[in-house]
Structure 1
Amino acid sequence: MWLGEYTHFYDVITGAGHDVDLASVEGGAVPLDPMSLMPPVLLMGGTNKRYESAQFMEHLDETPSLSDVDLDAYAGIYLIGGHGTMFDFVSGAVPGAVATFADSGKIVAAVCHGPVGLLHATLADGTPLLAGKHVTGYSWAEEKLAMRASDVPFSLEEELTAKAAEYSKARVPMTKHVVVDGTLVTGQNPTSATGVGEAVLGLL
């Protein structure tokens, strides 16, 4: 998990009086992308203050697995990015959970690499979740700038372009870009997490 993509979203949602619960693919401690803990990234949007708070970080130590969560109890799902999601979100509980929220007309949000969890989500009527949708997600240019192009199994930008009606991105890499299509909210990169939170808050 890219820590700032959680803290920025969390601060927006909880600041408005809503609750946020954190779940993970397998349960237990949430593995953090070490790059998200390095300056200047850690200093963005007050992430460093959250990281320095033992009380805040403790709730990352023990999380339920997504498959054990009562999805009906929530108004939406938010998929946080980090390069590990390129491997962990393509199958298993994530696409199914996403489809459950979408089928119920609830909020589905994702940021950076998080939209990989949308790629294989299929609605109850057999329609791919991304069919006819406008989305964004981590661009290939950003992947190359981060020097991770050789570490990921595929280009998220390419897959989103192929499966969605329209993929869009900011003119300048690593700048805020958020796309809202009904109850589907996607953000391009870590700098978009606050914007995703604000868009989700508007839907709530």
Structure 2
Amino acid sequence: MTARILHVVTNVGHYDDPAHPTGLWLSELAHAWEVFEKQGFQQTIVSPAGGASPLEPRSLRFPSYDRIAKAWHDDPARMALLESTSSPDAVDAADFDAIYFTGGHAVMYDFPGSEGLQRITREIFERGGVVSSVCHGYCGLLDTTLSDGSHLIAGRRMTGFSWREEELAKVDELVPYNAEEAARERGALYEKALIPFVSNVVVDGRLVTGQNPGSAKATARKVVEVLGG
């Protein structure tokens, strides 16, 4: 049976200061999409508000702007998918086997407060599906609770863009909060690689998380493994 993947992207195009643009980190979507596509999986894109998802300008530079990301950016049909994403209200969680939260600093603003995304994530997880994220995508899991009221990430091993990586990327004074700290406050057993920006994926049952942009492909491959049992 063909697996069905729901990708989550942002609608936000800048930090609190509009002079500093941000958005979807393209390679984090493109790399995972390619992995899932090779498996023949069905794929859909949703965003907190539906509609357009702007791109993070820095994701269009080397090394993130590699062959796979460039191929997506150069393909009008693929780019059109980012102009007309679904809204959570239009998504039936029962139609999907896994959810994959992409990153980019923009998601720090609109992922956590989306009750629609929280509903979809909870329903997929409680039906036995896979919940996954890469880089800042884990911000979409921070406030997601299960039916018993507990945080989905509480007591579970996970990773995501670290505070040290924020500092090295020189955006620690721009981001609205410390996501690593927020995950720990919610009971997550947060882990990170010893060396910043290297690929790192943590799997805890049906929760699959990648630390940074370089982890997208490996994260998607782990999702495939978990779906395969």
Structure 1 length normalisation: TM-score?
Answer: 0.95
**Structure 1, residues 107-164: CA drift from partner, whole Å, max 9, x if none?**
1000100001111111011121112100001001111111111111111111122223
Q: Does 1:50 align with 2:75?
A: no
**Structure 1 residues not aligned, in runs of 5+:** none
Query: How much has 1:56 moved relative to structure 2?
Result: 1.7
- Which of 39, 45, 51 is equivalent to 1:28? 51
Query: How much has 1:99 moved relative to structure 2?
Result: 1.4
When structure 1 is superposed on structure 2, of 45-54 and 11-20 the one drifting more is 45-54
Which residue number in structure 2 is paired with residue 70 of structure 1? 92
Which residue number in structure 2 is paired with residue 201 of structure 1? 224
Q: Match for 1:159: what amino acid? A: A
**Structure 2 residues not aligned, in runs of 5+:** 1-23
Query: How much has 1:184 moved relative to structure 2?
Result: 0.5
Q: Match for 1:149: what amino acid? A: D
Contact 1:185–1:200 (Cα < 8 Å) also in 2: yes
Q: What is the count of residue pairs matched by the alignment?
A: 203
Contact 1:75–1:106 (Cα < 8 Å) also in 2: yes
**Structure 1, residues 3-51: CA drift from partner, whole Å, max 9, x if none?**
10000000001111111111111111112111111233212x5211221
**Structure 1, residues 78-98: CA drift from partner, whole Å, max 9, x if none?**
111111111101112222222
Which residue number in structure 2 is paired with residue 94 of structure 1? 117
Alpha-carbon distance change, 149 to 71 in structure 1, aligned in 2, over 3 angstroms: same
Equivalent-residue separation in structure 1 for 2:26 and 2:188 (angstroms): 30
Q: Does 1:82 align with 2:66?
A: no
Identity %: 39
- Pick the structure with more helix per residue: 1
Equivalent-residue separation in structure 1 for 2:124 and 2:130 (angstroms): 7
